[in-house]
Amino acid sequence: MTASEPRDPGPVRRRLGLVPRILGLHALVFAVAMGAVIFVVTQTVNSSLVHGVDNALVDETHEFAGAAHGRPAGQTLAQFALTYLRTRAFPRGTVALIEITNHDILGTAGSLGVRTAQPVLGWLAAPPRRGRLAALRVGTTTFQGLATPITAGGRRLGTFVVAANLAPLHQQEMTTLMATIAQAVAALAIAMLAAYAVLRRVLRVVGRVSGTAEAIGREDLSRRLEPVAGGDELSHLVDTFNAMLARLDTTFQGQRQLLADVSHQLRTPLTVIRGHLEVLRRGGFADQVEVGDTVDLVLDELAHTTALVGDLLLLGRAREPDFLDRSPVPVRALLDDAFTAAQTLAPRHWRLEVTTDAVLLVDRTKLRGAILNLVENAVAATGPGDSITLAAREGRWLVISVADTGRGLSVEDQARVFDRFRRGPAADHRGAGLGLSIVRTVVVAHGGRVSMASRPGAGCTVSIELPNADSTPSPPSRERAGARADRRG
């Protein structure tokens, strides 16, 4: 690094660490606040003590004035002053001086130093017209002094000076200051320990979040944070982070499953298409009948493949937040539409039984496709003489059912027909076995469930149970309009 290049402070700042920086800032703010508190407390105590001293001096002045006014008849003011100073018990540290015109200055023990103070000399030389307060400096000692005129008949006869030693007051101030500082230091230490404990708890969780995020970066999506007790913001952070990881894991697993399903299911039709095209190329294109048959077969395989890809994409997007495009849908109108479309599929004895006028918040396109998937399965399992019934009833759940009088299913078949790429014994083998899997995916996305009741030779009833208006859960977050999917069966 040359002299002209600026120094990068980043590494130094990083080495300092987050905890010391936060604690340092916390200590600085707390110290400034406590300094302000100490200053205010000291000033308040000092003002209170000085005010108390001033009041005591005023009381002494009033005491002297009252005693002088009520002195015995015939006693001169000088005689009274001498007697008063000898008999009066002044508070400790308090001295008094009395100056009577044309008489010597009288004072209590220890008043000589106060007498030499500059303000006192002025008061004794020229008695003040009213009371005067002043700080008196006597060597290294400070007194608070009060001078008042001695009057009689409107004439000033002298001066009464009383002064209190402020050393005890200063000592009391210092004691209060030291006690306040000690309490502030103790409070600072406690605050720093509490802040350190809180920071360690917070940053420990943040560290676990960081470590888990780093592990996720290495494709370990199974990692989760240990729950934090307390129900506070940290607990909510951990729960939210774990929920996010679960959604990411589910999404990635769905993507992997989708890729595996696509690669598995497309291999066969692509192989068939390629094989027929290669046969056609080896045999030439002279036989127009053979060419037409091959083209028809290829187009049929492409149509089947297109439908398969659409189904797989629908299943792959099932866990996305905008999978459903919800809107209010009347159940009766939905079943009427599905019933009209169902009657064109095959000649059966069709029945429609709707006993509810409920309105659901659902994705109309996907739910209609799921119902028609069930209808197509019922058509595949029945003959022209059988009956197929579409019904809807309302209870704790709103139930939409498709019942047929066809061949039915065994218990073993019922347990597996909702899995991907599984077909019942009466299924159209041209299908991919995704119809019922799509039905279950769509219903679960709506917060519902699918059930089947069947016996071999006794028909089958598949029921879609959806939360009704009293128990409808909150729709998934960030559902946005625009999700569209065609019904594939």
pLDDT tens by residue, 426-437: 444 444 566 788
Q: Which helix (H) or strand (E) holds 288?
A: helix 288-316
CATH 1.10.287, domain 233-316, yes or no: yes
In terms of phi and psi (left: phi > 0; alpha: psi -120 to 50; beta: otherwise), the region of 472 is beta
Looking at the domain 21-172, which fold is it? Beta-Lactamase (3.30.450)
What the block records as the tokens of 310 is: 């659409």
Count of beta carbons in the 10 Å neighbourhood of residue 141: 14
In 3D, which of 30, 49, 72, 311 has the Cα closest to residue 189? 30
Q: Tens of pLDDT along the chain (489 residues)?
A: 444 444 444 444 444 566 788 888 888 888 888 888 888 888 888 888 888 888 999 998 999 888 888 888 888 888 888 888 888 888 888 999 988 888 888 888 888 888 888 888 888 888 888 888 888 888 888 888 999 998 877 788 889 999 998 888 888 888 888 888 888 889 888 988 888 888 887 777 777 777 776 766 656 667 676 676 666 676 777 788 788 878 777 777 767 766 776 676 677 677 878 887 787 777 666 677 777 877 888 887 787 777 767 766 776 666 666 778 889 999 999 999 999 999 988 899 999 999 999 999 998 988 998 899 899 889 988 988 899 999 999 988 999 999 999 888 887 777 677 766 555 554 444 445 667 888 888 888 888 999 888 888 888 999 999 987 544 444 443 333 333 333 333
Cα distances from 489 to residues 135, 176, 267, 375, in angstroms, run: 104, 88, 20, 10
Q: For the chain, how long is the longest CA-to-CA vector? A: 163
What the block records as the tokens of 54 is: 């001033």
In 3D, which of 489, 417, 406 has the Cα closest to residue 452? 417
Query: Which segments of 61-192 are extended strands (E)?
Result: 94-100, 106-107, 132-138, 141-152, 155-165
Domain residue extents for the chain: 21-172, 233-316, 327-467
Helical segments of 352-451, H only: 364-380, 411-416, 435-445
| pLDDT tens sequence across 212-251 | 767 666 566 676 766 766 666 767 777 887 888 787 777 7
Count of beta carbons in the 10 Å neighbourhood of residue 100: 20
**Which of helix, strand or coil describes residue 175?**
helix
Judge residue 209's burial from the number of C-beta atoms within 10 Å of its C-beta, 0-12 exposed, 13-18 middle, 19 or more buried: middle
Per-residue pLDDT, 475: 41
Second CATH level (architecture) for the domain 327-467 = 2-Layer Sandwich (3.30)
201 contact partners, CB below 8 Å, separation of at least 6: 234
Angle between helices 364-380 and 435-445 (to 10 degrees): 150
